[in-house]
């Protein structure tokens, strides 16, 4: 089993650009990190899909996820580019699939499409999306996954769900990668998310903060794979952690 490493680029969400005043300089700082990661042979770079900063919303820069995904597709040459993860509630899934298809071409087949149900309530409400209860968000998430796969694999797909309906949208080109762009689902929900991973996704990102929780979630994923007849080992599994970079001899405390 091989282990690959990716890195988040600074886009402002975690107040990681506040020491730079000029928006253009902030963007160039983000791009510089992406290029440094590429030169250092990291496998992938990642961006968040958020509009407001954490832990509290501040009047500070936060670059929009898919806009900078497109920019990074042209600012880099070899490294993969993904979102950890796209909030399903912020974009119609058919349009998202179209955006992803275009950027896969722009990146010459380096796109990873991350998707999750969404959680940052303040953002949802501020931007006018409302904030449905978890069961509704999960049902919409399931429908979105199914639509995105259809958009990437069918010529004129149709779908009639509670939250989304499509009637033969044309999506050309569908991207560079075959059979389609890798779909990377985020979250550890055992009944919905991990089952969707087993059925549709090429990869998943499971949080939890400790190896024991991740192992528990992956065991559930394997059960879903066994039930559905999916090869568990064909799915890429990931988690993300915070790493603090110190100068030589500097005390971590």
Q: Domains (ranges, CATH) in the chain?
A: 6-186 (3.20.20.30), 187-242 (no CATH)
User: In the predicted model, what is the mean pLDDT of residues 196-220?
Assistant: 92
Query: What span, in angstroms and rounded, lies between the C-alpha atoms of 168 and 238?
Result: 34
Instruction: Determine the pLDDT at residue 251.
Output: 76
Instruction: Determine the pLDDT at residue 42.
Output: 97
Q: What are 75's two structure tokens?
A: 């600012």
Query: What span, in angstroms and rounded, lies between the C-alpha atoms of 197 and 181?
Result: 14
Instruction: Determine the pLDDT at residue 1.
Output: 67
Instruction: Determine the pLDDT at residue 146.
Output: 98
User: In the predicted model, what is the mean pLDDT of residues 113-124?
Assistant: 96
The pTM assigned to this predicted structure is 0.93
How would DSSP label each residue in 83-140? ES-EEGGGS-HHHHHHHHHHHHHHTTS-EEEEEE----HHHHHHTT-----HHHHHHH
Which one, of 88, 85, 190, 77, lies nearest residue 129 by Cα? 88
Map residue 250 onto helix, strand or coil: coil
Q: Residue 253: pLDDT above 70?
A: no
Instruction: Determine the pLDDT at residue 252.
Output: 67
């Amino acid at each position: 089993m091989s282990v690959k490493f990716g890195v988040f680029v600074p886009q402002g969400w975690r107040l990681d650009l506040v020491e730079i005043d000029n928006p253009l300089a902030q963007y160039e700082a983000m791009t510089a990190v992406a290029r440094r990661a590429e030169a250092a042979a990291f496998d992938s770079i990642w961006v968040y899909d958020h509009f407001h900063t954490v832990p509290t919303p501040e009047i500070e820069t936060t670059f929009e996820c898919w806009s900078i995904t497109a920019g990074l597709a042209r600012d880099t040459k070899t490294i993969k580019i993904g979102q950890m993860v796209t909030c399903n509630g912020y974009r119609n899934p058919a349009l998202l699939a179209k955006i992803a298809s275009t950027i896969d071409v722009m990146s010459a087949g380096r796109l990873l499409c991350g998707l999750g149900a969404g959680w940052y309530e303040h953002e949802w409400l501020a931007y006018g999306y409302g904030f449905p209860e978890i069961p509704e968000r999960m049902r919409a998430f399931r429908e979105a996954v199914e639509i995105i796969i259809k958009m990437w694999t069918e010529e004129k797909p149709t779908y009639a769900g509670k939250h989304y309906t499509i009637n033969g949208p044309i999506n050309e080109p569908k991207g560079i990668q075959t059979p389609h762009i890798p779909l990377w689902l985020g979250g550890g929900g055992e009944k919905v998310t991990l089952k969707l991973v087993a059925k549709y996704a090429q990869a998943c990102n499971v949080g939890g903060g400790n190896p024991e929780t991740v192992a528990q979630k992956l065991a559930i994923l394997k059960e879903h794979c066994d039930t559905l007849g999916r090869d568990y080992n064909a799915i890429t599994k990931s988690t993300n952690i915070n790493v603090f970079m110190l100068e030589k001899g500097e005390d971590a405390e």
